[in-house]
Structure 1
Amino acid sequence: MSAATEAFLAMLAAERGAALNTLAAYRRDLDQAEAAIGDLAETSRDAVASLAGEWASLAPASVARKASALRQFFGFAVDEGWRADDPSGALPAPRLRRPLPRVMGHDQIAALFARAEDEAAGDEPKAVRLLTLIELLYGSGLRATELVGLPLSAAPRDAPFLTVTGKGGATRLVPVGGRALEAVGRWLSLRPQTPPSRYLFPSGKTGHLSRVRLFQLLKALAARAGLDPASISPHVLRHAFATHLLEGGADLRVLQTLLGHADISTTQIYTHVDAARLVALVNSRHPLATRTTSD
């Protein structure tokens, strides 16, 4: 990898607080581009245009991600004086349609929680831990990474809030409902004390429960609840949290804050919920709704 791209990655880490996974993805995309067309700080516009052929077999989302990485690099290179031109216009720009999130229905949520509550009735630690995990996924809308990495100090005590560290190191306060508070309290009373761990959900000698293990636990619970494991994941529960709150009348800006979205456009995907409900809302709340055509 060239010195210019290394400097760009260092800038992302230092100035924008990019997460490790984000940096790894940028590094991979830039490295592959340089393998195809050479040093990005010196390569020609024609060489940049040739990447369309290199990426022809890729999915539109992959092409869009790679092109975004290069556009940001070229902007940085121009700002730093390494390039006199910005060849980003030669990059392919596939049109993407954001897929709608998979969402669990209320009956599926009820079945999942009924099974988890039944299994946790006897205070078996792993069963209580699983109930706590799904309460926080669905009750607070946490990302899988945010959930498994919660420090013990984040456990709500004096106030019903979690301090969550999200993407890029951004922190936010997330409310915790009564059910989740009860589950967290039960888990804290059963949580292993040895070896000492700074995590709310410890695993191994010094680490925490992994994202992969969280996926496995949730899918196994879904199967025991008579649900299709392939249709359920931590992110699906997060989507259900958002969709069901919006159905209940939550404001989109509030939802953006709760989910930790940097851009409101990311949150707007949840406006797909229940078109009939939205029509009914307009008909009942609009100022003209109570007026007749003869008024």
Structure 2
Amino acid sequence: MNQPQQNAVTLLTEPVEHFLNYLKSEKQLSLNTQINYRRQLYALISLASEVEFTNWRNLDSSLVRLLISRSKRQGLQARSLALRLSALRSFCDWLVKNGQLTANPARGVLNPKQGQHLPKNIDIDEINQLLNIEYNDPLSVRDRTMLELMYGSGLRLSELVNLNCRELNLTDGEIRVLGKGNKERKLPLGRESIKWIKHWLSMRDFLVPKDDALFISKLGKRISPRNVEKRFAQWGVKQGLSAHVHPHKLRHSFATHMLESSGDLRAVQELLGHADLSTTQVYTHLDFSHLSDVYDSAHPRAKRGK
């Protein structure tokens, strides 16, 4: 690499490294998010020479579209393109904040359209079949409690494994959960969840806990996400379910069943911990026509000339 090329690459990589350090030290985003942003931003840097782009200060919306177009030509699918654009938007927000750009040129570029690949939910009869576990050994009771809590409160897998005993308030029937972006939310616990948590806590000491983790492995350590996935899949087979049981499928089933019963999209959004209502709308198979029907039938000022 000759000197001018090396200088151009440095002009692009140095701000990215500062941004990634900001994500780690100040925003304290998850390691997975940091890795994804690094991968996407360096992929864009690798395309810079193709579009004669050498300095982030010169980035405009036409260049953003060109970079995304070149990424698509490389074979990236819509979901990956959206992730790349999201990383670039966040980086440009940081550049604006630090006075290196006057406006974010990636904000006006729309995400590529993508098909919705949503997990099928488990119907209520099969949920009851899954939860009809009669074994009373510590590991079975632990798994039964995790299944109940996952479906009963719509937790993410990461939220489930990171729960601590101190975050339980069984008297008031509440639990504190740390979700995405370190955002804490308080969730109600159902009667069955409380019953099974108490049952599990009466057996938890048999596994000699190493810390305050609510759910632990047979070695006493905090249970891993992979272990939860494996155990749920095994129970699905053992209980005779027709479909594979995965933690996210239980969360999806919670959302679908709650929405079917209540029709309250905002409440389901809060329970799931979604920052954006549109995420909940997609997640629960809603489309605009359904929302329109709900609005027309339920809202006191919704007649709209009918």
- Smaller-chain TM-score range? 0.7 to 0.9
2:280 maps to 1:263: no
Q: How does 1:118-129 map to 2 (within 5 A)?
A: 118=134, 120=135, 123-129=136-142
Say which of 43, 49, 72 aligns to 1:55: 72
**Paired letter, 1:226:** G
* Structure 1 residues 171 and 75: alpha-carbon distance in aligned structure 2, compared to 1, 3 A threshold: closer
Residue equivalent to 1:20: 31
CA RMSD of aligned residues (A): 3.5
8 Å Cα contact 1:156/1:162 also seen in 2: yes
What's the CA shift for 1:16?
4.3
CA distance in 2, matches of 1:262, 1:219: 29
What's the CA shift for 1:3?
2.3
* Structure 1 residues 181 and 50: alpha-carbon distance in aligned structure 2, compared to 1, 3 A threshold: closer
Say which of 187, 190, 198 aligns to 2:212: 198
149-158 vs 162-171, greater mean Cα deviation: 149-158
2:175 maps to 1:176: no
8 Å Cα contact 2:47/2:70 also seen in 1: no
Q: Relative contact order (alpha carbons < 8 A, sep ≥ 6): 1 or 2 greater?
A: 1
Residue equivalent to 1:185: 198
Q: Give structure 2 stretches of 5+ with no counterpart.
A: 1-11
| TM-score normalised by the chain length of structure 2 | 0.79
Q: Give structure 1 stretches of 5+ with no counterpart.
A: none
Residue equivalent to 1:11: 22
Residue-by-residue CA offset, 1:76-112 (whole Å, 9 max, x unaligned): 2244233567553897841124334421111221221
Residue equivalent to 1:131: 144
What's the CA shift for 1:53?
2.6
Aligned residues: 284
CA distance in 2, matches of 1:80, 1:215: 42
8 Å Cα contact 2:40/2:84 also seen in 1: yes
Residue-by-residue CA offset, 1:212-236 (whole Å, 9 max, x unaligned): 1111111111111222453x21111
Q: How does 1:143-292 map to 2 (within 5 A)?
A: 143-191=156-204, 192=206, 194-203=208-217, 207-230=221-244, 232-270=245-283, 272=285
Q: Secondary structure at the match of 2:131?
A: helix
Q: Secondary structure at the match of 1:162?
A: strand
CA distance in 2, matches of 1:78, 1:89: 12
Aligned-residue sequence identity (percent) comes to 34
CA distance in 1, matches of 2:274, 2:128: 27
